[in-house]
């Protein structure tokens, strides 16, 4: 099993108010799967993704990546696991504005200590941006930025891709391109967990997990 979450709880405090964002969430993600996470705003989707990636530590329960526990470790240790095993794609702001597409990908490789110029060239070509590789984010379209963000997420050859609304700001044509790229990624034995409001993305997934008020149920 590539990714497992066991009985996750996450609480937030603001003064005397307490918000329970996750209430005992468990899930298991296998190699080669695309799993969509859906639910209304405030249901805990982004909190779940943060806990799965190690960007946030749950208050209860734990997460394992390929059998290695991520939860309750230092940020440095979680960062090493994340760099080695997880690619993260957000709805926006996946790219540094002062760097070209190529250099954004190269930076991610450097951070993971996995510089591979041959793979960088393959990746730029894979996402269909060879003609835009030297362009900075301000000079590319929204669809191109989304595909560049996906390339950055794949730069360290992660086992797992976690994507938060990856098609939220693109048109239907670019949504199809991103879905095809994710499909090719999982065919290599990796897994994709995608938070989405898009029915097209959900229909493309192997499974749909629905969050409601911090709890999870599968369709």
**147 neighbors 181 (Cβ within 8 angstroms):** yes
CATH number of the structural domain 33-58+74-218: 3.40.50.300
Cα Rg, the chain, nearest whole Å: 17
Q: Of 67-71, 197-201, 215-219, which range is least confident?
A: 215-219
For residue range 42-55, what is the model confidence (pLDDT) as tens digits? Answer: 899 999 999 999 99
Instruction: Give the strand pairing for 86-89 and 215-218.
Output: unpaired
For residue range 92-102, what is the model confidence (pLDDT) as tens digits? Answer: 889 999 999 99
Helix (H) or strand (E) holding 34: strand 34-38
Average pLDDT taken over every residue of the chain: 91
Q: How far is CA 81 from the centre of its chain?
A: 14
DSSP of 142-192: HHHHHHHHHHHHTTT--SEEEEESTTTTS-HHHHHHHHHHHHHHHHTT-EE
Q: Give the start-to-end residue ranges of the domains of the chain.
A: 33-58+74-218
pLDDT at 15 over 80: no
Rounded to an integer, the average pLDDT of 182-210 is 91
Q: How far is CA 139 from the centre of its chain?
A: 24
Q: Of 4-8, 11-15, 30-34, 209-213, which range is least confident?
A: 11-15
pTM strictly above 0.75: yes
Burial class (CB in 10 A: 0-12, 13-18, 19+), 149: buried
């Amino acid at each position: 099993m590539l990714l497992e979450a066991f009985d996750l709880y996450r609480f937030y405090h603001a003064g005397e108010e307490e918000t329970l964002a996750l209430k005992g969430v468990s899930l298991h993600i296998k190699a080669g799967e695309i799993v969509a996470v859906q639910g209304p705003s405030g249901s805990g989707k982004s909190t779940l993704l943060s806990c799965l990636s190690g960007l946030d530590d749950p208050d209860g329960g734990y997460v394992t990546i390929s059998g290695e526990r991520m939860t309750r470790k230092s940020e440095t240790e979680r960062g090493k696991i994340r760099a080695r095993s997880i690619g993260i794609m957000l709805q926006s702001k996946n790219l540094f504005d002062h760097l070209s597409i190529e250099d954004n990908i190269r930076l991610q490789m450097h951070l993971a200590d996995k510089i591979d110029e041959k793979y960088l060239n393959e990746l730029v070509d894979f996402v269909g941006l060879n003609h835009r590789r030297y362009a900075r984010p301000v000079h590319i379209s929204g669809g191109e930025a989304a595909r560049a963000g996906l390339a950055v997420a794949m730069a360290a050859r992660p086992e797992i891709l976690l994507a938060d609304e990856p098609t939220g700001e693109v048109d239907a044509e670019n949504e199809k391109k991103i879905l095809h790229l994710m499909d090719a990624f999982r065919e290599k034995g990796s897994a994709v967990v995608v938070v989405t409001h898009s029915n097209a993305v959900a229909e493309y997934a192997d499974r749909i997990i629905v969050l409601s008020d911090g709890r999870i149920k599968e369709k």
